[in-house]
Structure 1
Amino acid sequence: MVPLYVGAQLAGSLLASLTLRLMFKVTPEAYFGTTPTDSAARALVAEIIISFLLMFVISGVSTDSRAIGELAGIAVGMTIMLNVFVAGPISGASMNPARSLGPAIVMGVYKDIWVYIVGPIAGVMAGGFVYNFIRFTDKPLRELTKSASFLRSISPKQ
């Protein structure tokens, strides 16, 4: 199912980018994708952090039975808005590799594209891991770090 989802995301990004390029006769000089405004390292860190936050919030409002489901959209939307305000000037706040790959492929502009592939993937993996670490442990954090029981709670049962 995941490959189908990834394919649909990429196809949508490519088609949207192609449509924009054809409708507005965009040239590579007027690139509409995301590129770092400063250094690739700063953009990478920004993408990791905002993707982490987005995944953490999505995990909390969509998978936790204690969450109020009717407010999930507001929580996710506010997280995206804050991410864009904070990281937009640094990296463009992509948070999704497909969002950056589509314009890059259509326009042929691949400057630091790795930032927008590695950053969001690393961020969402870390966000999901940390959320699961917090959610699936039933002891206070101070007890977990003393006994390292959190490692047993996420390892496969023998």
Structure 2
Amino acid sequence: MAEDLTSSETLELPLNIGNDDSINDTVPLMQKLVAEVVGTYLMIFSGCAAVVVNLNNNNIVTLPGVATVWGLTVMVLAYTLGHISGAHFNPAVTLAHASTKRFPLKQIPMYIVAQVIGSTLATGSLRLIFRGANDHFTGTLPAGSNLQACIFEFIITFYLMFVISGIATDSRAIGELAGLAVGSTVLLNVLFAGPVTGASMNPARSLGPAIVHNHYKGLWIYIVSPIVGAVAGTWAYTYIRVTNKQRNGIL
């Protein structure tokens, strides 16, 4: 719960490692969907497991530890699956990429379903492993007002998607650092926003635990704000990026 470290700090994330405006059509759609299910499962399982272990062991993992787990998990999965599915693991990222025509509109529903399935299965696995008193709600809840949570989730998702758009979709950026940059952004966001909102940045991350625990309080915040923040973030970067017109020998 977000009131303290008992809440589930997230991740997310999401990542298109390909070159600017490229959509990898060489990988069969079914393989992409399986990659999204597996990647989202591993991300949610690792991050939420850190939260549960922390709660069951007198905060031994600590907030920085939980944040590190989320960030490192996003980083390694981005490098592992980015070339297959784009490593979105996040409906907000999928929708943001689609809004700038970096992702096919017809694949949006299937990607979102795959991401929610992965998150739900991961949360279900944790409930099977941790039973009774050791079973904790790993979803996201506002520690303060709904307005505060909305603003926080908008800003941190904007931040995340702005970084993704800059490092992972612009061919002039150092693409090899995409996973490191995005994972680091997730880590930073969880450090300061985790105690306030649970630092979701990802509708699937919040939906999975809500479905498994049948706990939907404040869920709309974690669906609306990340989507709006992600779309705003990618469009903000798109607006300020240098054009493709050559000026004085510099692109």
| Structure of greater Rg | 1
- TM-score, normalising length: structure 1: 0.81
Give the secondary-structure state (helix, strand or coil) at the position aligned to 1:32.
coil
User: Which whole-Å CA distance do the structure 2 matches of 1:26 and 1:62 have between them?
Assistant: 42
Structure 1 stretches of at least 4 aligned residues deviating more than 4 Å after TM superposition: 136-139
1:132 counterpart residue number: 238
**Within-5 A mapping of 1:98-117:** 98-117=204-223
Residue identity in the other structure for 1:87: A
Deviation of residue 25 (structure 1)? 2.1
User: Which whole-Å CA distance do the structure 2 matches of 1:92 and 1:70 have between them?
Assistant: 29
Give the secondary-structure state (helix, strand or coil) at the position aligned to 1:126.
helix
Q: CA RMSD in A?
A: 1.9
Residue ranges of structure 2 left out of the alignment (5+ in a row): 1-106, 246-251
Match status 1:53 vs 2:159: yes
2:180 counterpart (61, 74, 81): 74
Residue ranges of structure 1 left out of the alignment (5+ in a row): 140-158
User: Which whole-Å CA distance do the structure 1 matches of 2:163 and 2:202 have between them?
Assistant: 15
- TM-score, normalising length: structure 2: 0.52
1:153 counterpart residue number: none
- Identity, % of aligned positions: 58
Contact 1:20 / 1:26 at 8 angstroms: preserved in 2?
no
2:119 counterpart residue number: 13
Give the secondary-structure state (helix, strand or coil) at the position aligned to 1:30.
coil
Give the secondary-structure state (helix, strand or coil) at the position aligned to 2:189.
helix
User: Which whole-Å CA distance do the structure 2 matches of 1:47 and 1:74 have between them?
Assistant: 22
Higher helix proportion (structure 1 or 2): 1
Q: How many equivalent residue pairs?
A: 138
Deviation of residue 74 (structure 1)? 1.4
